[in-house]
Structure 1
Amino acid sequence: MCESLMQITKTRDQRPESKLNNEEGTSLTFPQKAVGESRSSMINACFNFINSIIGSGIIGLPYALNEAGLPFGLLLLILVAYITDYSIILLIKGGNLSGTDSYQSLVKSTFGFPGFLILSGLQFLYPFIAMISYNITIGDTLTKVFLRIPGVGPDHILAERHFVILLATLALTLPLSLYRNIEKLGKVSLLSMVLTLTILIIAIIRAPTLGTQILPTDDAWVFAKWNAIQAVGVMSFAFICHHNSFLIYGSLEQPTLAKWSKVTHVSVGSALIISAAFAVAGYTTFTGYTQGDIFENYCRNDNLATFGRFCFGLSIVTTFPLECFVTREVISNVICTRGLSKAEHVSITLLIVAVCTSISLAYDCLGVVLELNGVLSATPLIFILPSACFLKLSPGRWFQRENVMPTILISLGLFVMITGLTMTGLYPQSCSHGVEMFYCADANVSGTVPPA
């Protein structure tokens, strides 16, 4: 899952423009780099892209396999990765045809101001719901971390999720969200990436040591399950990274479509391998018991899992401000033609954080939140809008060869949205928030040593 760098894009839009030729013989306008500012190599671009994809959304992928079934879920994960790869390249092709250099300007030039409003709404909704999921996760993970502190029991205030969410909001996420410049959060983003990789390693380590002690559910190894469409929503939430596509493309030395295709294939492919490894490790450990927040499955006395919870909680705290930055920028771009004053900046930030916190205090089922964010915002941003822009700009008819795939993606995206919303509403997945799993009664599973 990635974070939009809209402020950086706005800064780039203020620079002089230069035209860069791609290998198809057409030109694409990109803002000229400032004096002394170097461009990225393909390796650096790949690293930045992978970093933008692999984020906190990875935590819900084991749950997605639980919804879809392991074999079919892996096939869907590969399909979502392929569509992500294809649509990212399609975005740049659309920018080539329209002479634009950002997702926002592409949609606005293609579908006018109504299209710009739709995209702005989706770009607001995605990080807004993500922040709600982050708060729910903070309440789930940090309470169990605090329970490992001597003297903190189940009745202690630090074990109360509402208090922990409020504490984290007031002490950490709100102060960080009040930054006006996203560049000050750059080191925080790097820390978040390191923590995410640490969580992946922990899940892989615990799969063989813990999974063998937990009996699999009856339908653990079936090919497919009925909730597969909802799983696509969770996977889309984890893979969306289209906000940064133009920014990373423009940072390349001599950017061309051929170079961009290589960067995209390597980045999305690497992210797919990491995501699949985490999803399989998590699901095979807990099978049908897998929760939307995988750390809800680990026992409270599991020291390695507790360290993983701490890493994930810290990662969420460092990611929340980036998503808040995006929502604030979307609001600013829609309602203001100028930069926000200090008072407006603080007021809008307080309003966004307050609404997200209120919803997360009232609702605690992470899996459903991930599903809704996937089908409501991530799916149209990945499946529908890039394809619709390309079809509108393409001189050929929709049934011609190069337009067949975008047409299919629009149909598939609409199907996933409608079906996913219907199934989430009619058949919401159950949660066991804050409840110690039954298998934790076994001393070996929980990681404790039985009394002599």
Structure 2
Amino acid sequence: MSFAFLCHHNSFIIYGSLEKPSLSNWSRVTHMSVGSGMIVSALFAVAGYATFTGYTQGDIFENYCKNDDLATFGRFCFGISIITTFPLECFVTREVVSNVFFNGTLNNHAHVAITVLIVAACTALSLAYDCLGIVLVLNGVICATPLIFIIPSACYIKLSTESWFHGGNLIPCLILIAGVFVMTTGLIMAVMFPQDCSHGAEMFYCSVSNLSSSTSSTDLLLQNSTEI
């Protein structure tokens, strides 16, 4: 349910972009994409933790040293994948711009120009700041949490003919309370205890001076663990 409400703003646009929009095609596309994404994420998570254990970072590439050529190639491939998938997040913004300023109709030139403008503005902002984690945190607690938990539950309870304490409204009430708790707690934690940004900082085992620069990150970690 959380995933469905979090992604629903893109759903109709993606559905309309299918060559043959139908429920069967939509079901196949969504199951294949989410399923393959889950498998890839699980493989990277398991392999990353098995290699670096307690030192595993949220971004597994942060665990590798700068002199690791294979990791550098992996970062390049990851960057290409982000470049090709990021425009998907701009679909809704472009749709809003189209409806507000162009009455929902865009010719091909305006379509391309607005898309490039949105992507360029986001790219420039991301390059200007080294760490934008706080943006994701605030977006999650202020936007995503109400969208996923609070608003749907409140609408269900409002439209229900039964009282709040009726058995049929018990689950929506619990979800609503949990959503308010998560939103309040998350906002307080984000403001009072902001996360440190360690993007680009090499791990301690990368700074060992008595090892050859050609040694892989995994070998460095194993040797440092042995010494400790």
Structure-1-length-normalised TM-score: 0.39
Shift of 1:50: 6.3
Query: 1:51 — aligned with what?
Result: 33
Equivalent position to 2:47, from 205, 223, 245: 205
Cα distance in 2 between the residues matched to 1:297 and 1:198 = 18
8 Å contact kept, 2:126–2:132: no
Shift of 1:429: 0.8
Query: 2:156 — aligned with what?
Result: 390
Q: Does 1:286 align with 2:52?
A: no
8 Å contact kept, 1:376–1:417: yes
Residues paired across the two proteins, number: 210
Cα distance in 2 between the residues matched to 1:392 and 1:308 = 50
Cα distance in 2 between the residues matched to 1:317 and 1:8 = 18
Structure-to-structure mapping, 1:9-20, within 5 angstroms: none
RMSD: 3.6
Equivalent position to 1:434, from 197, 200, 204: 200
Cα distance in 2 between the residues matched to 1:423 and 1:371 = 10
Cα distance in 2 between the residues matched to 1:200 and 1:305 = 19
Query: 1:411 — aligned with what?
Result: 177
* Inter-CA distance 410–357: structure 2 relative to 1 (3 Å threshold): same
Query: 2:24 — aligned with what?
Result: 40
Question: 1:11-57: CA deviations, max 9, x gaps?
Answer: 89xxxxxxxxxxxxxxxxxxxxx9x876528xx837624624x7xxx
One-letter code aligned to 1:412: A
8 Å contact kept, 2:145–2:179: yes
Cα distance in 1 between the residues matched to 2:75 and 2:168 = 46
What SS is found at the alignment partner of 1:40? Answer: helix
One-letter code aligned to 1:364: D
One-letter code aligned to 1:410: L
8 Å contact kept, 1:332–1:340: yes
Equivalent position to 2:13, from 7, 12, 20: 7
What SS is found at the alignment partner of 2:200? Answer: coil
Q: Does 1:331 align with 2:97?
A: yes
Cα distance in 2 between the residues matched to 1:204 and 1:305 = 17
Query: 1:271 — aligned with what?
Result: none
What SS is found at the alignment partner of 2:79? Answer: helix
Question: 1:54-85: CA deviations, max 9, x gaps?
Answer: 7xxxxxxxxxxxxxxxxxxxxxxxxxxxxxxx
Shift of 1:391: 1.9
Query: 2:165 — aligned with what?
Result: 399
Structure-to-structure mapping, 1:25-424, within 5 angstroms: 39-40=23-24, 45=27, 48-49=30-31, 51-52=33-34, 197-198=39-40, 200-208=42-50, 210-211=51-52, 284-286=53-55, 290-291=57-58, 293-302=59-68, 305-424=71-190
Equivalent position to 1:446, from 195, 217, 226: 217
8 Å contact kept, 1:372–1:424: yes
One-letter code aligned to 1:45: S
8 Å contact kept, 2:61–2:75: yes
One-letter code aligned to 2:30: N
What SS is found at the alignment partner of 1:436? Answer: coil
Q: Mind listing any 5+ residue stretches in structure 2 that lack a counterpart?
A: 224-228
Q: Does 1:425 align with 2:191?
A: yes
Query: 1:238 — aligned with what?
Result: none
Cα distance in 1 between the residues matched to 2:78 and 2:41 = 7
* Inter-CA distance 432–399: structure 2 relative to 1 (3 Å threshold): same
Cα distance in 1 between the residues matched to 2:141 and 2:196 = 18
What SS is found at the alignment partner of 1:300? Answer: coil
One-letter code aligned to 1:204: V
Shift of 1:400: 1.3
Query: 2:226 — aligned with what?
Result: none
One-letter code aligned to 1:409: I
Q: Mind listing any 5+ residue stretches in structure 1 that lack a counterpart?
A: 13-33, 55-192, 212-283
Cα distance in 2 between the residues matched to 1:342 and 1:47 = 26
8 Å contact kept, 1:387–1:409: yes
Percent identity reads 51
Cα distance in 2 between the residues matched to 1:354 and 1:403 = 46
Greater relative contact order (Cα < 8 A, sep 6+):
1
Cα distance in 1 between the residues matched to 2:17 and 2:76 = 35
